[in-house]
Structures are given as C-alpha cells and as structure tokens.
Amino acid sequence: MTRPTSPADLEDYQTRGHRVATIPSDYITRYPSLGQHLLAALAEAGRLGLAIEDGEIVIPLTETELDNKLQSAQRSWDAGKELHDKYLADGEWPKYSYVWGSYLTAEGIATPEKPEHVS
C-alpha cells in the first residue's frame, strides 16, 4: 500500500461510522412483539439515512471526520517512511518500532532482525 491519498485508501475499520445500536437478529424471531419494535427501529434508522451494517445501526462519518482520519493515516505513513529511510541511511534501529513496523507491513517490506544489542 502506498501513502493514502483519499478516504478510499483507508482500511474499512478506519472509515466505519459511529455505532448507535446493535440489534441481535435472533431477538427479532425469538421475541415477536419485541421483534416488531426492533424492525421498526431499523426501518426508522434507514429512513433517517443511517447505515444498517450486520445488525448495527451506524451513523456515517462526516467529511471532516474522514479527512481527519486520512490526515492521521498520512502522518503515520510519513513517520514510518522517515524512520525506514533513516534506518536505511545509518542502520540505527528506530526508537518507535511500532510505527516503523506498521509502515513496513503496509509496504510489504520484511522487517529486519533486531540486533541483539538493541533493547
């Protein structure tokens, strides 16, 4: 994966909206009178423009929220690349190996073995 340039480049979990409610589907059939109300809640949520995903009612992210998530992902990618470039230049093991490791994984680069003298 290259540096994300749009929300479409983000992982699904990063673009998922805010969960409002989870409606277990077995409740709809197990408790018929409750099921009526749960189905009505799902219908109303759909009418309001909320997403229904796997039995969950989800408020979609706003454009601002998506932009913020994109900027955060870009900062992480940039930081990981900077750490990798520095490692390639001087061989120094990165202090923030989690950020570096995330970058390496995203780019499909094998993580070098950590030298024994590095803690």
DSSP H helices, the chain, are 12-15, 25-30, 32-47, 63-90, 97-107
Residue 24, classed as helix, strand or coil, is coil
Q: What is the rounded CA–CA span in Å between residue 17 and residue 53?
A: 10
Angstrom distances, CA of residue 6 to CA of 15, 66, 68, 75, 81? 11, 9, 11, 13, 18
pLDDT of residue 1: 67
Judged against a pLDDT cut of 90, whether residue 27 lies above it is answered with: no
Q: Where are the domains positioned within the chain?
A: 18-60, 64-107
Strand ranges for 1-41 from DSSP E: 18-22
Give residue-wise pLDDT tens across range 49-83: 999 888 899 999 999 999 999 999 999 999 999 99
Q: What is the rounded CA–CA span in Å between residue 55 and residue 114?
A: 44
- Averaged confidence pLDDT in the chain: 90
- The lowest-confidence range among 70-74, 94-98, 107-111 is 94-98
CA atoms within 13 A on the CB side of 119: 0
pLDDT of residue 96: 80
Q: What is the pTM of this model?
A: 0.76
Q: What is the rounded CA–CA span in Å between residue 14 and residue 61?
A: 10
With beta carbons less than 8 A apart as the criterion, state whether 69 and 14 touch.
Answer: yes
In the predicted model, what is the mean pLDDT of residues 18-32? 87
In the predicted model, what is the mean pLDDT of residues 17-36? 88
